[in-house]
Amino acid sequence: MRKYLFIFKSEVMSNLQYIGNIAFGFVGCFILLFVFLNLWTYIYSNPNELINGYSMNQMIWYVIITEILWGCLGGRKLCREICDDVRGGNIAYNINKPYSYIGYSLFGHLGMAFVKGIMYITLGMITGFIFLGSVPNLTIFSVLIVLLSMILALVISILLIVFIGLFSFIIEDANPLYWLYSKFILVLGVIFPIEYFPSFLQPFLVFSPIYVVSYGPAKLFVDFSWEVAIKVLLMQVVYVGIAYLLCSLIYKKGVRNLNVNGG
């Protein structure tokens, strides 16, 4: 475990050198938040009105949290790096290293997401407070639960992207798969809560990655309850295990093919 913490620390120190670039990257996120602020202000004729159980303030904070999670992930970069490693043969050099390629990818990218996450959370909270003048009622314990849920959401997202990237063992270029996955999460998980979708679709969304990588943490932030918190955290832990298992299976299969083919 110590070597993975060293990988994480190294990536954190490396990204701290580009803190200005990370802050500038929030501009795109800010523009989206500004657009959605005006959208929800237009939809809600009365700020205290509830639509599908959400007030205007709750909807805007929901979008802020999901945008933070989406913005600090950098999934396209990670998927492209893994695809390049597989197609270029660089992954073969990691087979005999004293660490797992999956663990290396996870903790390395977590280091980058950690730095971006702190920056995006800070700027996102400031943006939300400027727009709305208030934040949801949260205790210290509920804030810690929300932060834990956000960390688990990032871990799951990274593992799922690693899994998609490792599909390059099978289809040569997995970047189109990531494009489909990212649009699925963006359209169904970032912009609207699950409650806004038709009732027949909601059970599917609850058991999909959307629930654990975007909806869950945002829901806990805008409308915290211990019942929902326990459900979200349990599902996130299960998803971490499933995602890691899928990554391990496809990685072992790919490495086995490399050994058979002498690659």
Read off the pLDDT of each residue in 131-146 and give the average, rounded to a whole number: 88
Give the pLDDT confidence score for residue 143 in this predicted structure: 92
Q: Give the separation between CA 10 and CA 200, rounded to whole angstroms.
A: 46
Band (49; pLDDT cuts 50, 70, 90): confident
Q: What percent of the chain has pLDDT over 90?
A: 29
Give the pLDDT confidence score for residue 35 in this predicted structure: 82
- pLDDT, tens digit, for every residue of 240-263? 999 999 999 988 887 777 655 544
Please state, as a whole number, how many other Cβ atoms lie within 10 Å of the Cβ of residue 237: 13
Give the pLDDT confidence score for residue 62 in this predicted structure: 92
Give the pLDDT confidence score for residue 243 in this predicted structure: 94
How many domains, the chain?
A: 1
Q: Which domain holds residue 96?
A: 2-260
Give the pLDDT confidence score for residue 95 in this predicted structure: 65
- pLDDT, tens digit, for every residue of 142-170? 999 999 999 999 999 999 999 999 888 88
Token output for 65:
């949290």
- pLDDT, tens digit, for every residue of 101-111? 888 889 988 98
Question: Is the confidence at residue 222, as pLDDT, over 70?
Answer: yes
Give the pLDDT confidence score for residue 1 in this predicted structure: 72
Please state, as a whole number, how many other Cβ atoms lie within 10 Å of the Cβ of residue 5: 11
Average pLDDT of the residues of the chain: 85
- Backbone phi and psi for residue 54, each to the nearest 5 degrees, phi listed first: -120, 135
pTM: 0.91
Q: Give the separation between CA 2 and CA 77, rounded to whole angstroms.
A: 25
Query: In the chain, helix, strand, coil percent, each to 5?
Result: 80, 0, 20
- pLDDT, tens digit, for every residue of 186-216? 888 888 899 989 888 999 999 999 999 999 9
Token output for 2:
């110590």
Choose between 231 and 15: higher pLDDT.
231
Give the pLDDT confidence score for residue 234 in this predicted structure: 96
Give the pLDDT confidence score for residue 117 in this predicted structure: 86
197: left (phi over 0), alpha (psi -120 to 50) or beta: beta
- pLDDT, tens digit, for every residue of 50-94? 888 888 888 889 989 998 898 888 888 888 888 888 877 777 676
Q: 51: which strand partners?
A: 54
Question: Is the confidence at residue 230, as pLDDT, over 80?
Answer: yes
Question: Is the confidence at residue 98, as pLDDT, over 80?
Answer: no
Question: Is the confidence at residue 135, as pLDDT, over 90?
Answer: no
Give the 3-state secondary structure of residue 44.
Answer: coil
> Which are the contacts of 249, defined by CB distance < 8 A and separation ≥ 6?
none
